[in-house]
Amino acid sequence: MADGGFLAVGFTSAFLPTASDQDNIKALARTGGLPSDSGMPHLQIIVSTTPAELERYDAEIRKLHSEEHQRNTLHISRLTRERKALASYAAYCRSILSPIRKLPNELIVDIFELCFPASLYEISHTASMEEEMGRISHAYLLNLAHVCSHWYRIAMETPKLWSTITVDMESELWYRSNNRVNTALGALNFSLMRGKDYPLNLNACVTSGIIPLSICGLLLRHIRRWKKVYFSSNRPPPWPASASLDQLVSLDFDVDAWDHVGTFRKAPRLTELTFSGNIEEIPMLPWAQLKNITYDSLGATTTTNAAYSALSVLRLATNVHECTLYLDFREDPGHEAWDLQHVASPVKALYIELSTEDSDVTGQLFQSITLPSLDSLRLYPADDATPPVWSAGDFVAMAERSGFDTHLTYLRIEVIVTDVDLLRCLRALDQLEVLDVTEYMYIPPDDAHWQATVTITDKFLQALIIVAPGASESNLSASALPKLRSIYLCSVLDFSDASFVDMLASRREADGHGGSGEKFKAKLEWFTARRRDVASETLEEIGQLVSKGGLVFNSGEREPAIQHGDVVEDGV
């Protein structure tokens, strides 16, 4: 007989796997390993021939559906099962032959690290205890571990993947979920133990109480592993009198009291320190080895107190390279002149966020320090503060005793200063290569009109013009900043286009911009509320200068943040 039913009985595939074949391929897939060299060709044949075999099954099944025969239903059921088994077997074969199986474990670990969620690295309030639990337990790793037994071993047996721990109790989720605290503590302990002896990056924000003490107890068991640490607490835990801190390189402390921080006095690799508060009683820390320090005056009771703390940082850190000071003196505007010991610091880069309503504060700060190695300086206000008043005389005096004319190469200021006073300061900076000046716009109280702190004027720009070759030595020496190679101006455009173009043209034509051989880089941004518009012809003229070579130029409009009654900056 040649009817469809008879043909269906004999229809099958030579590549159809047996039950043993299916069990073996599934077991191999779970391990994440590769088949033997002898087994590899068979898998490759299955992968290459299965698409055609599946098409054969599909055609036969369609044919049987189109015929009326009492035996076709059974045949269709058998063929459907065989097709499903063959498709599943081929899928396992493709998975086993996939390139990722050939990757060494080290690369798989790198891929896992790229999957780290941002919440694992930083303090961020979570919406639910489930999210907090996911962060503590490294839920993303647990999900990856379910792919196969090979990935499970990599995820669970690679301490590096468990080397970041973040605990945030400010959200109070721990207190609102008392019935799950033990589970959360267990998850924290599990994650810590998985890290074994691998150096630990720790972000911890804890409050006072029984639960925080339990958390701190777990964290302190691993203090020998601490590498990069952020620790915030309104009541520090009882630090151990001594501890092995051979791994510690970075410490960020936000605590209300400095009790027992002598624990950290012997940390031979500690080079980065961030802290806030009042240090009238100098904490026992390895100051001489610190290279990068950030100090926030938050917590200091008076301006003099905060100034003392900031200057103490510069005095104690005798080998510091970079220092950032956040000094907010607005809570104590009526202070008297500082009566503090003068400080000489070897710092190379000093960044000061200075918020004050006292016009004398900047001058007192300049009077208090000598910086014989400084190459980068920035002075700016907090986002919600009036910019500090620049004291030109005190800056020039500091520049002269510090020798800025030989080593200061970067200056960024966001201050209140006149063009005359700024030029007076710049003429003391013969080595300056990068200048960044931002003007401010503000609306005074009971006034509906923008006002500005104007520094960038024609007088200012003309002083930056490099006199053409062949001019007299007296004219050449009159040009401020002879080695300037980059300038950024954020302005209300209270100068003429011609002055700006002349400055760019002279700098473009200058020989190597101080000998560097680089193109001169300039960027001009203007506020939406400004004195005037930039003429399109001016921009075309600057474009022509760029096309001639020696100049890189960018420009654009910026929207200032409006805060009534405050001088504001649109953040750079």
pLDDT tens for residues 295-340? 988 766 677 778 888 898 899 999 999 999 999 888 766 556 677 7
Q: Distance between CA atoms of 96 and 83, rounded to whole angstroms?
A: 20
Predicted confidence at residue 127, as pLDDT, reads: 62
* 280-307 per-residue burial string, b: 16 or more CB within 10 A, e: under 16: eeebebbbeebbbbbbbbebbeebbbbb
pLDDT, one tens digit per residue, over 34-53 is: 677 667 788 888 888 889 98
* Structure tokens that stand for 96 in this block: 């086993």
Distance CA 390, CA 52 (A): 80
User: What count of other Cβ atoms lies within 10 Å of the Cβ of residue 387?
Assistant: 27
Give the CA distances from residue 224 to residues 198, 373, 493, in Å, rounded to whole numbers and listed in that order.
10, 35, 57
Q: Return phi, psi of residue 525, to 5°.
A: -125, 145
Using the Cα atoms of residue 522, residue 528, residue 530 and residue 533 in order, give the sign of their dihedral. Answer: positive
Please identify which residue in the block is written with the tokens 């640490």. 229
Query: What local confidence, expressed as pLDDT, does residue 336 receive?
Result: 64
pLDDT at 566: 43
230 DSSP β-pair partners: 203, 252
CB atoms within 10 A of CB 130: 13
Q: What is the mean pLDDT of each run of 10 residues along the chain (572 residues)?
A: 48 86 81 69 85 89 78 83 89 78 85 83 70 86 85 92 86 65 87 95 79 84 94 77 89 72 86 80 84 86 80 92 92 67 95 89 94 97 86 96 96 94 95 93 60 85 81 56 94 92 90 62 88 88 93 86 42 33
Domain residue spans in the chain?
4-101, 433-572
Q: In the numeric block, which tokens belong to residue 297?
A: 């005056």
Instruction: Supply the pTM of this predicted model.
Output: 0.78
Please give the Cα distance from 401 to 358 (Å, whole number). Answer: 25
CB 205 within 8 A of CB 153: no
Beta strands in 113-267 (DSSP E): 164-168, 200-206, 226-233, 250-255
DSSP states of 329-368 as a string? -TT-TTPPPP----EE---SEEEEEEE-S-TTHHHHHHHH
pLDDT at residue 173 in the model: 64
- Alpha-carbon distances, residue 524 vs 419, 474, 486, 502 (angstroms): 17, 30, 11, 14
Identity at 274, one-letter amino acid code: T
Measured distance CA(257)–CA(278) in Å, rounded: 9
Q: With H, G, I as helix, E, B as strand and everything else as coil, classify residue 62.
A: helix
H or E element that contains 557: strand 551-558
Strand 451-453, strand 440-442: pairing: antiparallel
